[in-house]
A and B are shown apart, each in its own frame.
Chain A
Amino acid sequence: MHISEGILSGPVLVSGIVVAVTGTAIGLKKLDFERIPRAAILSAAFFVASLIHVPIGPSNVHLILNGIVGLILGWGAFPVILVALVLQAVFFQFGGITTLGVNTMIMALPAVCCYYLFGGLVCKGPRIALPAAFACGALSVFLGGIMVGLALIFTEENFLKVSYLVVAAHVPIMIIEGLITVFCVAFLKKVQPDMLRGLGA
C-alpha cells in the first residue's frame, strides 16, 4: 500500500501531508509517556511487517498490521506509522519521501477508524471481542485499499477499478491480519486487558 514517488499530483500530495500532520499532532498529544514504549514496539512491528510477503494474488502484497496498531494506540497510530514509513522509505525504498504524507494517511486513517468502531467492542466478552478483532484487522486493510483508490483517483482515473484491484490483491492479507488481530486481542485480554482501551478515551 505504499504509493511510489512521481505518480501523484501536487494537490494530492499536499492534502496527504495536511492530514498526516494533523493526525500526528493529535496522536502526539494523546501519547503520554507511559505509552511511549508500547508505541515504539508497535512501530517496530509495523516497520518489519512489510517484509512478510504473501505470494498470492495478482500484485505484491505484504502484512500491514494497521488494525492492531489502531486498536491499541487510537490516534497514536498516526505518529507511529509515520515514523515507521520514514524508516521504510529510507531503508527499503518503499514509498518515498514526497509521498510520506499520503502513505501515512492511507494506513493510519483506517487504523483510527477501526479504533472508534471496534475499540469498545474488544473490551467485552470473548464472543463479541474476538469476532470484532477479526473484523478490525480485516477492515483496516480493506479501508486502506479504498484510500489507495482515492489517492490515485486523479492519476489513474478509475476509482472503482483501482480500489477493486488493490482490495482483491489484499484479500489473503485481510484474512491473515484478521487472525493476527484475534490472536493479539486474545493474548492482551489475558495479559494486560487495560491496554485495549487505546488513547482516544
Chain B
Amino acid sequence: MSKEELIIGLYSLAPLIIAGITAAIILVISAAGESRAGSGRLRAVNAAEKLSYLAFTAMAFISAVHFIKIKGPLTLFHNAVFFDHYSAAAGFIFSVMGIFTIFIAASEMKSESSRFQPEYYALLLSAAIGSLIMAMANDLLAAIVGIEILSFSTYILCALDNKNKRAVEGAFKYFLTGAAAGALFLFGLAHIYGGAQTTFISEIPSMAAVNVQGPGPGAPLLIGLVFITAALLFKAAAVPFHSWAPDAYDAATVSVAAFMTYFVKAAVFILIFRIFAAAFIFMASSITGVLSVIAVITMTLANIAALYQNNLKRMLAYSSISHTAYMLIAVICSAGVYKNAVADCGAYIIFYLVSYFFINAAIFSALAMLSPGENRVHTIEDLKGLGFKKPFFSASFSLALLALAGIPATSGFIAKFFIFYNAFLSNHHALVLLAVINSLIAFYYYIKIIMAMYMQKPESGETAVSFGNAGRESAICLAVSSALIIILGVYPEVIVKLAKLAVISSF
C-alpha cells in the first residue's frame, strides 16, 4: 500500500477511528473503579456523556467535510469499502442520530436511582462504527461484519438493565433471531460467491454476466439473493421476520427503543438499497414480486396488530414495522421502468429515514420525559388527562404522532407522498392503493393516543404519570425534533436535493 493510499484510507475512516478510540476511553473510565454506584457512577456517566457528544459531533463534522470534498466514488482497501457521497451522507445522518440518542438517554442515565453504567455510550459508539461499515461496505464480507458489530451492540444495549428479567428476555429473543439472520446472510453470501465468483457489490453484475451460462441469473445467485434479502428483512423487521421487534422494543429502555427504531432501521435500509441498486438491479425482476407481497402483508399485519395494543412501546414497534413496509416499496420501485428510478428512490428512502428519525426522536423523548430513569411500561391510560395540564408536551407529542400517521404539513406526509407517488409512476398501482388504505387504518391508533390525552379524564382524578426533574435534555430534544418535523414538512427540497446528488454520484 502506497503512502497516498494510506493517507486517504485514514481520512476516509476518520469517523470510525474517532468512534473506536472514544469507545475505548469510555470503557477505561467505566472500568476505573468506584464508578459502580452513587456519585462515582454519576461522575463517570457525565464524563462519558461529554466524550461521546464530542465524538459524535466530530464524526458529523468530518462526514460533512467528506460530503463536500469528495469528487466521485472511490473504492479503498483493495475494494473492500466505498468512499462516496452516499456513505458520507449516511455517516452524517448516523452521527446526528447518535447525538439525539444521547439527549434522549440523559434522563435515564443521570437520575440517582439509575443502574446504568457508562458502557452505554461506548456501545452507542460501537454501534455507530458498525453502521458506518455497513454504509461503506463494498465487499459483502465487510457488510456482514458491520451488521454484526451493530447488532451485537444493540443486543447488549437491550440487555443493559441486567437486573431486569424483562430486559434479559427481550434481548435474548432479539439475539436468537438476529443470530439466525446473520447465518442466513452468510449462507446467502456463500452462494453469491458461488454464482458470481466475487463478493464485491460493484463487481457482481459484470462477473455474473461472465460466469453464468444460459438464461436467467443462475441458481446459486438466485439462492444467494433470496437468503441475503431474507436476512436483511429480519434486521429491518418485516413480516414474517418481525416477531422479535415488539419484544425487543418492550424490553429495552426508552432511549434504546428509540435507537432501535431510527438508527438500526436507517443502517439496514442504507445497506439494503446499496446492495439492491448497485449489485442486484439486473436480477431485480425475479424478486420484486415477492418483495411486494411481503410489503403488503407487513403493513397490513403490523397495522392490525397495532390497533389492539395498549402498551405504547409495543404499539410503536408495530408502527415501526409498518413503516418498514413503506420504505420497502421504495426499494421495489428502484428497479422501476422510468429513467431516474434509482436516483429518485434512493433520495426518497434517505428522506424517509431522516423524517422518520425526527418523528421518532420526538415521540421517544416525550416518553423519556414521562418517567425518567425507570423501565416501566407506558400504557395509553397513563396519558389520560395530560392534554391541557402539560400543553407543550402534549402538543409536541400529538404533532409527532400525526406526523407518523402522515398529516399534511408534517415531514411524515411528504415522505410518504414521495414514495407513493413514485410507486404510482412505476406502475405499482395496487401497491399504492393498499398502502394508502393502510395509512388510513394507522390513523386510528395514533388518534387514539391523542384522544386519550385531550378528551379523557383519568379514573383517579390525578394523572397517572409524573414528570421528573431530569427531563431537561429530553424537552430540548422534543422541541428541536418537533420544529424539524414542521420545517421538513414545509421545505423538503434541501434534503431531497442533497440526497439525490449523493445517490446519483454514487451509483
Same complex for A and B? Answer no
Binding site for B on A (CB under 8 A): none
Binding site for A on B (CB under 8 A): none
